[in-house]
Chains A and B, each alone.
Chain A
Amino acid sequence: MERQPLALRIVLAAGLVALAAFPFVGEKFYVQFVTKVMIWAIFAVSLDLLVGYTGLVSLGHALSYGLAAYTLMLLTPQYEAAGFWTSLGASLGVAALAALVVGLLVLRTSGIYFIMVTLAFGQMAYYYVHDSDRLGGSDGKYIYVRPALEIAGWKPFDLDQFTHFYYVALALLAGVYFALRVLLASPFGRVIVGIKENEHRMRMLGFATFRYKLVCFVLAGVLAGLAGWLAAAHDGLVNPEMLSWHQSGQLLMMVILGGMGTPSGPILGAAALKVLELLFQSWTKHWQLLLGGFIVLAVLLIPRGLAQLFEWKRRG
């Protein structure tokens, strides 16, 4: 288990401080932008648990994300707030259940077939939601009031205020990050990493690898559900696109770009992709050309993603 290179730790610590201070200096638009980036970061970390650590490339990860989002929508009364804990619990529960059911089926395949079967289930969910009038069809539905937390009359925060939402998202991202590091150092985490490295040998050593993959799949689903709940609350809108393969694809891009198999990689990847998007959008209407070009160059020149850049600092 390697210690993180010092350069990376400094950058991450600085990043945390910067993020905590940002709402004091940033405009509302940018604070909300960074909130969105943090939500994507949580989503990307959840996929990395599958891709970077266990070696399971899922193109249907948006399924848990989207179902959690829709659960929040269903639990939110027309013009009132849903309960914070109840809606979060329900969303995570739905995400976990979906991941469990799908995992039991898809984990019997591997490689490219696994990618495609996960895509299939993701698309099935997409079409189900897309064609369902009750769920809002292709337009989706609005969430007019964000979930509210009240403990005996006292509201610790008000999610409808964008700065409060920002800090809740930041706290959750930090929590997820540290939880992931703990998980990776645990016996479970070591098994997961071993499965990616040489699953056959793990089985021969006596590990029932299917079980571990399934638990990992469900954990990743729960994290994706957290991101979905946050995204729905933040945007105030759920629509089928949240379950589409484009969503899963973009997510995969973030994970690969940032560097798989590192706790900070997906966070960097999410930030990089979204910031570049914003930047290029401000330059030209045809910003996708620039983004595509950037991705192509990045793959050709930086083989292992952005987090690799920090490895160079350690060796140098």
Chain B
Amino acid sequence: MAEAALRTESLQKLFGGLAAVNGVSLACELGRVHAVIGPNGAGKTTLINLLSGDLEPSSGRIEILGREVTGLAPHRISQMGVGRSYQRTNIFMRFTAFENCRLAAQSRLPTSMRFLRPAARYSAVNDAAAKALEVCDLSSRQDTVAAELSHGERRQLEVAMTLATSPKVLLLDEPLAGMGAEESARMVELLRRLAPGHAMLLVEHDMDAVFALADTLTVMVNGSVLASGTPEEIRASREVQEAYLGSEEHG
């Protein structure tokens, strides 16, 4: 059994009296895709926020690459090799696609407290940015300002920025959000290419994409885990069908 790159134990997040995430335990190994699905309000985004450090857990444990990261600041978690993309595009709108990725890649320098040499001369950083853009099919658009990219391209840029930080663990929050059929297919292809080199936790509503990519599925309802297993097991589970799957098949 491969060592889990990402593991949570009884993770809980309380807002006042409400448990947005309630006792969630899951694991994801390098080279595997773990998809988290569930109806709106199930706590999926809260879960990702907990894993990326955007939110602090009320209780429970999070381990990344064997080290405990519960309650660490987001920038520390990122430096440990975690990359996170957002459901609502969260990029640098006024920078070019290349600069977006370059800045992301720059975060991997030992320190950015460098005041003299132009940032553009750090070739390793530039290479990482170019590579990330290439993997995401954005090389031709690299000099375009992000605000002028199409919605689908911006979602790709979201992923590219995450990749530019050379993460081992990818936390992707609805990467297909708002995409049409063709764009979605391209994104699924991209994610399929990325899967072997990373531990990927994927929150998605698009069931076709989920079943095409996932090695493991976790179904969340009202903050708790309803069921967890292989796609076949989940598809066959009556519980899941009743609670969720039937209505989502055409979502």
Which chain A residues have a beta carbon within 8 Å of chain B's beta carbons?
1, 182-183, 185-191, 194, 197-198, 200-209, 211-212, 215
CA distance A200 to B53 in the complex (A): 12
**Complex contact B75–A185 (CB within 8 A):** no
Interface centre among B92, B94, B122, B161 (most CB of A within 10 A): B92
Interface mask (B99-128 → A, CB under 8 Å = 1, otherwise 0)? 100111011110011111111101000000
Residue of A nearest to B112 (CB): A187
Once the chains bind, are B108 and A187 in contact (CB under 8 Å)?
A: no
The interface residues of chain B, by DSSP majority, are classed as loop
Contact among A183, A189, A204 for B75, CB-based, below 8 A: A204
Contact B84–A188 (Cβ < 8 Å): no
Contact check: which of B90, B104, B113 meets A200 at CB < 8 Å?
Answer: B90
Contact of B104 with A186 in the complex, beta carbons under 8 Å: no
* Complex CA–CA separation, A233 to B63 (angstroms): 59
Do A182 and B90 touch (CB < 8 A)? no
Q: Within 8 Å CB of B107, what residues of A?
A: 205-207
| Cα distance, A197 to B107, chains bound together (Å) | 16
Q: In the complex the two chains form, is B91's CB within 8 Å of A201's CB?
A: yes
Task: Pick 17 A–B contacts, CB within 8 A, sort by A.
Answer: A1-B118, A1-B119, A182-B115, A186-B115, A186-B116, A186-B117, A186-B118, A188-B115, A189-B115, A190-B102, A190-B103, A190-B106, A197-B94, A204-B74, A205-B103, A205-B107, A208-B73
B79 at the interface (CB under 8 A from A): yes
- What's the nearest-Cβ distance from chain A to residue B176, in Å? 20
The smallest beta-carbon distance between A152 and chain B, in angstroms, is: 31
Provide the residues of chain B in CB contact with A204, threshold 8 Å.
Answer: 52-54, 74-75, 78, 84, 90
Interface residues of B (CB under 8 A from A): 52-54, 73-75, 78-79, 84, 90-95, 99, 102-104, 106-109, 112-120, 122, 161, 165
Residues of A close to B114: CB separation below 8 A:
186-188
Residues of A within 8 A of B99 (CB): 1
Q: Nearest residue in B to A211 (C-beta to C-beta)?
A: B113
Selected contact of A185 from candidates B79, B90, B119, CB within 8 Å: B119
Interface contact B118-A212, CB-CB below 8 Å: no
Determine how close the nearest CB of chain A comes to the CB of B220; give it in whole angstroms.
23
Question: Which of B107, B112, B122 has the largest number of chain A CB atoms within 10 A?
Answer: B112
A191 to B116 Cα, complex, angstroms: 14
Alpha-carbon distance A212/B107, docked complex (angstroms): 13
Contact A207 B112 (CB under 8 A): yes
CB <8 Å contact, B119 and A190: yes
Given the complex, which residues of B lie within 8 Å of A203, measured CB to CB?
73-75, 78
Q: Which residues of A contact B120 (CB under 8 A)?
A: 1, 185
- Chain B contacts for A209, CB-based, 8 A: 75
CB of A215 to closest CB in B, whole Å: 7
CB distance from A100 to the nearest CB of B (A): 15
Given contacts A1-B120, A185-B120, A190-B119, contact A206 B78 (CB under 8 A): yes
Of the listed residues A187, A188, A202, A212, the one surrounded by the most CB atoms of chain B closer than 10 A to its CB is A187
Which of chain B's residues has its CB closest to A194's CB? B103
A residues in contact with B112, CB < 8 Å: 187-188, 190-191, 207, 212
- Chain B nearest CB from A311 CB (Å) reads 14
Q: For B116, what are the chain A residues with a Cβ–Cβ distance below 8 Å?
A: 182, 186
Q: When chains A and B are docked, how far (Å) is the Cα of A111 from the Cα of B47?
A: 29
Contact check, A187 vs B122: say whether CB atoms are below 8 A apart: yes
**A256, B73: Cα distance in complex, Å:** 34
Q: Which residues does chain B contribute within 8 Å of A197, judged by CB atoms?
A: 92-95
Write the chain B residue with the least CB distance to A204: B74
CA distance A200 to B107 in the complex (A): 14
Instruction: Report the bound CA distance from A206 to B93 in whole Å.
Output: 19
Q: Contact check, A205 vs B119: say whether CB atoms are below 8 A apart.
A: no
Distance from B154 Cβ to chain A, minimum over Cβ atoms (Å): 13
B113/A185 in contact, CB under 8 A? no
> Closest 4 CB pairs between A and B?
A206-B78, A206-B107, A185-B118, A187-B112
- The answer to whether A198 and B91 touch across the interface, beta carbons within 8 angstroms, is yes
**B90 with A183: CB separation less than 8 A:** no
Q: Is the CB of B91 within 8 A of A187?
A: no
Residues of B within 8 A of A194 (CB): 92, 95, 103
Chain A's closest residue to B53 (CB) is A204
Alpha-carbon gap, A212 to B74, bound state (A)? 16
Is B165 touching A206 in the complex (CB atoms < 8 A)?
A: yes
Contacts of A201 in B (CB 8 A): 90-92
Which A residues are CB-close (under 8 A) to B106? Answer: 187, 190-191
A198 contacts which chain B residues (CB < 8 A)? 90-93
Residues of B within 8 A of A211 (CB): 113
Candidate in B53, B102, B113, B165 with the most chain A CB atoms within 10 angstroms: B113
